[in-house]
Structure 1
Amino acid sequence: MRISTKKKIIYILAIALSVLYLLWRVFFTIPWHAHIFTLIFALLLVGSELISNFTAYVLIIFRIMQSKKNHSLEIPKFDPTQPVPDIDILIVTHNEDVDLLRKTVNAATFMRYPDKNKVHVVICDDGCRDEVKKLAAEYHVGYVKMENNKKAKAGNINHALAQLDSPLFAIFDTDMIPFSSFLYSSVPFFTNNWANLRADPDHTKALGFVQTPQSFYNADIFQFNLFAENYVANEQDFFSRDVNVLNGYNETALFTGSNAVFLRKSVDQVGGFPTDTITEDFELGTQINMEGYTSIATTQPVSSGITPVDVKGVIKQRTRWARGVVQSCRNLHIFTNPNLSMTNRIILINTYLYWWTFTRRLIYIVAPLLYALFKVQVVNANFWILMIIWAPGYFLLHYVLGDASSKIRNERWGEIQETFFAPYLFIPVFLETIGIKAKKFKVT
C-alpha cells in the first residue's frame, strides 16, 4: 500500500494533535482532590486513552514504514535448477472427530510439489486412537502416537519432531484443510532465502517461518448470527491478513498456531515448542525471532478451517488466547528482555495491550454513565475547552485509522466486536496478569 507525501503529512499531524490532547489530559484534567473512587476511575480512564492511542500510533507508523520500504509479498517461484527440500507435514490431533481429520489428511495428500516423494504427511496423535492409526494406513501417511501426554499440543509436536528430520516442516490443526497450492505458496520463500544467503550471507538473515492466513469456510459468530456473511469480513481476518502482514514487513510476523511452515533448524535452536504456556505458537515465533531469524506473513489464504459459532465456544477460545498471551509475555519478559529488537518489542507490547482492549471498552462505557446517573465527574475540564482540544485530534486520527487500515474491517465494526467480548474477557486477563491461572482449558 503506497502512501502519498500528502497523506503522510496528515498521518503525522493526526498523531501530533492527539499527543497534544493527551498531554493536556494528563497535566490539566485529572481531579487529584476528588474522592478516592473518582480519582482511581479518572486515572483508569486516562490510562485507557493513552493505551488506545499507542496502539493506533503503532498501526499508523507501521503503515508508513511499509510504504517507505515498498516491500512486495509476491511469492517467489521454485528455481528449476535447484533441488527442492524435503518437508514434513504435521497434522496435530487430540480427540477431534475422525471424519473432520479425514478431510485434512485427504487434502494434505493432494498438495502440489515439484517432487511429491519429498512431502511426508504425518498424523501426530496424542489420543492414541486405533481409528486414527487406521486412517493413516488408509491414506499411506505417517502416524506418530504419544501416550500420557501432559504437555498438550506443544508436547505432541515435540514428540513427533524428535522422530522426523526434514529441513522444513508445516503445522496443521485437525480442522485446517490445506489447499493444493499451499506448498507452492510457502516453501519458495525458503528456497529463495537460501539462495540469497549463499549469494550475500553478510546482508541476509535466515528465514525462520512463514505464516499463511487463518481462513475459515464457515461463518464466524458475528456473520452467522447477524446474517452478514456476504458483507462483513471474518472477525479474525483483520489480524491475520492485515496486522500480522505488517508485522511481517518488519520481519517479525507472529506464529498463530496452524498452516505455517518452519525451518527445522530454527525450532531446534530454541529448544522446540515451549511447554510452559497455553499459547506455544505465540511464544515460539518470538523465540525464533530473538535468535536472529526473520518471519513473514502472507495475505492470500491457502488453507481453510472451522471457527466456532456459538458464544460459549468462542469465549472459551478467546479466554485461552488471552490468558496464554499474558503468560507468554511474562515468560518472554517483553518489557525488559535485552534480546528483543525495538520493533519486535513494540509488536509484542502492542499484542499484549490488545488483550486489555476489553477492559478499556468497559471503562469507556462506564465513564459517561457515572456522570449521567451519579454526577461523578472524572474529567476536570470545561466542556468547550475539551471540545477544542480533543475534537481535532480525535476526528483526524479516526480518519487516518480508517485510511491506514485495510478494507477488511473498519474501525467502528472493530469497536462493536470488542465491546461484545469485553464483559467476558476483562476478568480472565486481570486474573492471569496477577498470576491466578485457570485450572483447565479445553481447546475449541
Structure 2
Amino acid sequence: MQKLFNVLNKLMESGEYARLKDELNSEQPVNVAEYFEELTAEKQLFVFRLLTKDMAADVFSYMDSDTQEHIVHSITDREVRNIVDEMFLDDTVDFLEEAPANLVKKVLRNTDAETRKLINRFLNYPENSAGSLMTIEFVKLRSSMTVATAMKQIKQTGTDKETIYTCYVIDDQRKLIGVVPLRTLICASDDETIEELMQEDIVSVLTTDDQEEVANIFKKYNWMALPVTDTEGRLVGIITVDDIVDVIEQETTEDMEKMAALIPSDEEYLKTPVMILAKNRIVWLSLLMVSGTLSSMVIVRYSSLIETVVILSGFIPIITDTGGNAGSQASTMIIRGMALGEIQLKDVLKVVWKEIRVGVICGLALGLMNMLKMTLVNSDAGFWVNLSVSVSMALVVVLAKTIGCFLPILAKAFKLDPAMMAGPLITTVVDVIALIIYFTLAAIFVL
C-alpha cells in the first residue's frame, strides 16, 4: 500500500495531475480512501476533486468520519448533491449518524424530497437495529414475471442496486413471498415464471431486531444479503454482508473492551483524546479498586494467622493468580459460546457441571504439581504449609471455573452483556474466595 501512496505523492509533487487523476480513478475506492489519511486537509480537497462522480461517492463511503466531515464542509452544495446522488442510501445514513448537525443540514438541504424523506426515516430507526443497517437498493420482482422479463429489469436497474445476486419477490401489498438467486434466473428458461423458481422458505429479520442477532443469522446461513421486513411482513430493505462485517468488528471490539473493564468507545485509539481514554477507564478501575478492598479485609481478618506463620503471605499471589486465570479461562469460553449461539440460558446446568469436572481435573493436576514443586523448592516452609497451599490451589481452581462460567450466564439472564463478567471482575471475585479458602485451610493444617 505504501508503494501506491509513494507513486501518487510523486505524481502530485511533479505536477502530473492528469496521470494522478487516471491513477486515482483506476484504483480500488478503499485504497484511495486510505490514501486520504496520508494527506493534509488542503491536499485532501484537491485530490477529491480529481475523482469522477461515481468514484468520489465510493471513496467517500470508505473515509473515516473526520475526513468525511472536512470534505462536506469544504465542497460546494452541487458537489454534495453529486455525492449523495451516487452513494447508496445506507452509506449516506451511516455518515449522517456520526456527523454534526450543521453538516447534516447541509447534506439534507442538497437532496431531493424523496431522498430526504427516506434518510429521515432511516435515522429514526433505533441505533444498532436492523433498520439502521439496511439499504433500499435491491432487486424486487413479481411472481407473475417470466425469467426474460425479470432479467430485462435487472439489466435496466442493476447498476443502481447494492446487490443483484439475490432477488426478492413481493406481492401487491409489498409483502415478501419469496427469493430467487440470480444464478437460478441465468440457468432457467426465458418462459419460466418467477413463481416456479422462487424459494418460499424465507429467513428475514424485523427492522427492530438487534444487529447482533442479524450478525448471528449471517454467520449461520453464510448469506450475502438478508431481507428486512416490518411487523406486517412488508419488505422494506435488505442488509448486505459488507455491513455485517462492520457490525461483527464493532461487537467484537465492544466485547473486548468490556472484558478489559473499559467503557466501549467508537473512536479510533489515536484519535481519541487522552481525557476521554482516562474517563473510559477510571470508572471501572474505581469500582474494581473498591471491590478490591474486600481482599484487604480478608487479609486483615486473618492477620493474626499471618503474624504467627509469616511464610503464608509469600504464597498469596500464586493462589490468587491461579484462581483468577482459571476463572478468566472459563468465562472467556462461555462468553464466546454465548456470542456464537452455542450456549443458551437453558444450558446453565450442563455448562456448570462440565466446568466443575474440568475444574476438578485442572485443580488436582495443579495441586499435585505445586506440592511437588514446593517439596523440592520450598522444603523449609514445612509439609503442612505446602499442603495448605496445594489443597487451596486445587479447591480455588474448581470454584474459579464454576464462578467463571456461571457469572456470564447470570448476566445474560438479567439482560446484561456477558462480556462484563470477565477478566478483572472475575479475578476480583475469585481473589476474595481464594483468600478465604487459603487462610481457612492454613488455620486447620498449620496451627
For the aligned pair, the TM-score class normalised by the smaller chain equals under 0.3
Normalised by the length of structure 1, the TM-score is: 0.26
Which one has the bigger helix percentage? Answer: 2
Normalised by the length of structure 2, the TM-score is: 0.26
